[in-house]
Structure 1
Amino acid sequence: MTDKSSDEQGLSGRARAADAAARAGAAVAAEAFRTDIAVEAKTNATDFVTEADRDAQAAVVTALRERGFEGPVVGEEEADEVVDAVPETGPAWVVDPIDGTNNFVRGVPVWTTSVAAVVDGAAVAGASAAPMLEDVFVADGTAAWLNDQPMAVSERTDPAEFAVAPTLWWGHDRRAEFAAACREIVERFDDLRRFGTVQYSLAAVAMGALEGAITNVRGAPWDTVAGAHLVERAGGTVTDIHGEPWRHDAQGLVASNGEAHDEVLAAARAIEAERPD
């Protein structure tokens, strides 16, 4: 069986597949959590990868194929069936086997396995499983759920009551931007939260635990697509740094509950002002 576009195997089918695949990958990763697992550094001393990342990604791919869904898999870890860019046409899957690997290797239980379905470059379904928190977030083309219950963004309207997360990561040569992100949040809003995982930060916006999550960084699709889709389907707003509708290759990601989005966007733009030319 291949991808279908009928009601039976369309968007709801992809949402069910994303849910099942995220759970499968999360279960594999959870078995290795807080064990003596080998850790490797990728691009820098704190950019980690473990065998759990690779095994969880393989479990996600297997779960998708077992449900009959074909199409490219866009993933963080190199593998035979995995590519590193979202195709502009046709169906594909975007996978982050462990978003928050730094948390994972430190024994911090806030990390997710995230899976998104895209068609012609746009998300149509997504799921993020946070197994150590016993939470699973899922969205199809119309709505979003947390643990099988309808999920919606916060209804707060006053920025003075907002909790906002700086998200993605500013490298050691861009710490002025990280500092600006923290400054803008604490000066404009009530509180700052940093979870160490983009996908969980976006899920937190989707479930109403945060009012915003911001960055001026261009993120990888596996870090962002599922979570951005959750926010939008839960009733929130996601734009790029310019205030345009967000897409997987956009510069910046500004997610909010849709209330006072301009103020959340202004905070993100102030970070951008610190970016080196």
Structure 2
Amino acid sequence: MSPTDGRGGRGGRGGRGGHSDDLALALALADTADAVTLPRFRAADLRVERKPDRTPVTDADTACEDRLRSVIADHRPDDAVLGEERGGELGAGRVWVLDPIDGTKNFSRGVPVWATLIGLVEDGRPTVGVVSAPALGRRWWAATGAGAHTADPARGVEDERIRVSGVGDLADAYASTTDLDHWRTIGLQDRWLALTQACWESRAFGDFWHHCLVAEGLIDVAVDPGANTWDLAAAQVIVEEAGGRLTDLTGAVRCDGGDALVTNGHLHEAALAILTPDR
């Protein structure tokens, strides 16, 4: 499939409104990413190295980002690119934000919870987002004004509109975070524990998955105490178009704040009051 044929690839018509062409390209980029990453998943010769920050990177991470950058250069040569593996900046104008494999630790261990994240940020605001998790057989996407959608072939779903939950009390909420030990590392473990005590149930789905679960209305609160722009740009537009909210832990609406609170919207202020009581 050509990235510019307007159909958006597997899992989507490309959306409606002013970003339909960009969403179609993002969905086609996700097809491209899946074709690179999935054959390397659980490959016997997968190469895993450590970056200076001690996080893992595989040959699939770099190959995927390089391929996506090449396609973007062909079809949007005037747009900038920010990626986890090859760098870049989130400046003014149009910037494609790429995480070739979100959940590299899972990928390298053979755990199927990982995804490629593709976002388009325009003047600091995400307007298109695609999350493709081929080992789970799932994809989520959104564009400003076009709603949030998912594909779930196991249920026979090619394009389903998704919405956040209507839970309005933390006592009834399902909450998720990433690695619990990171909260200890930054000296805020008590804040997360206080939130879990206020909620009905807690888990650690982590990474892209808990953001998408919030957008689908399956959980109600997700907290990332440490996150990068490429972790959040695609998620922000998906969550917002599903009716939810994504802010940093000061309550600012941004994907580059270094952390994130994602909720169904109804619970946002209550969760912030526990996580950042002195804001």
TM-score (norm: length of structure 1): 0.84
| Structure 1: gaps (5+ residues) | 1-6
1:232 aligns with 2:240: yes
Task: State the Cα distance separating 1:183 from its structure 2 match.
Answer: 1.1
Counterpart CA distance in 2 for 1:222 and 1:264 is 24
Query: Within 5 Å, which residues of 2 pair with 1:23-38?
Result: 23-36=31-44, 37-38=46-47
| Structure 2: gaps (5+ residues) | 1-14, 152-158
8 Å Cα contact 2:228/2:259 also seen in 1: no
Q: Which among 123, 140, 145 is matched to residue 143 of structure 2? A: 140
8 Å Cα contact 2:84/2:98 also seen in 1: yes
In terms of mean alpha carbon deviation, does 208-217 or 25-34 score higher? 208-217
Aligned partner of 2:89 in structure 1 is 85
Per-residue displacement from partner, 1:131-156 (whole Å, max 9, x unpaired)?
01111111011211001211111122
8 Å Cα contact 2:130/2:142 also seen in 1: yes
- After superposing on structure 2, the runs of 4+ consecutive aligned residues of structure 1 that deviate more than 6 Å are none
Q: Which among 134, 150, 166 is matched to residue 155 of structure 1? A: 166
Aligned partner of 1:191 in structure 2 is 201
Per-residue displacement from partner, 1:93-121 (whole Å, max 9, x unpaired)?
00000000011111110111010011111
Q: Which among 209, 216, 220 is matched to residue 207 of structure 1? A: 216
Task: State the Cα distance separating 1:251 from its structure 2 match.
Answer: 4.8
Count of aligned positions: 257
8 Å Cα contact 2:248/2:255 also seen in 1: no
Per-residue displacement from partner, 1:189-222 (whole Å, max 9, x unpaired)?
111121242x2221111111210112343x3111
8 Å Cα contact 1:214/1:268 also seen in 2: no
Per-residue displacement from partner, 1:54-76 (whole Å, max 9, x unpaired)?
11112322333444464111001
Task: State the Cα distance separating 1:253 from its structure 2 match.
Answer: 1.3
Task: State the Cα distance separating 1:10 from its structure 2 match.
Answer: 4.1
Task: State the Cα distance separating 1:258 from its structure 2 match.
Answer: 0.9
8 Å Cα contact 1:21/1:59 also seen in 2: no
8 Å Cα contact 2:65/2:99 also seen in 1: yes
Counterpart CA distance in 2 for 1:171 and 1:256 is 20
**Residue identity matched to 2:148:** A
Aligned with 1:95: secondary structure? strand
Query: Within 5 Å, which residues of 2 pair with 1:77-116?
Result: 77-78=85-86, 83-87=87-91, 89-116=92-119
1:243 aligns with 2:242: no
Aligned partner of 1:71 in structure 2 is 79
Aligned with 1:109: secondary structure? coil
8 Å Cα contact 2:171/2:200 also seen in 1: yes
8 Å Cα contact 1:54/1:97 also seen in 2: yes
CA root-mean-square deviation: 2.6
Counterpart CA distance in 1 for 2:195 and 2:267 is 14
TM-score (norm: length of structure 2): 0.83
8 Å Cα contact 1:128/1:136 also seen in 2: yes
Q: Measured at CA, do residues 122 and 92 of structure 1 come closer, stay the same or move farther in structure 2, by a change above 3 Å?
A: same
Q: Measured at CA, do residues 213 and 173 of structure 1 come closer, stay the same or move farther in structure 2, by a change above 3 Å?
A: closer
**Residue identity matched to 1:194:** A
Q: Measured at CA, do residues 150 and 226 of structure 1 come closer, stay the same or move farther in structure 2, by a change above 3 Å?
A: same
Per-residue displacement from partner, 1:237-256 (whole Å, max 9, x unpaired)?
12222223x21332531110
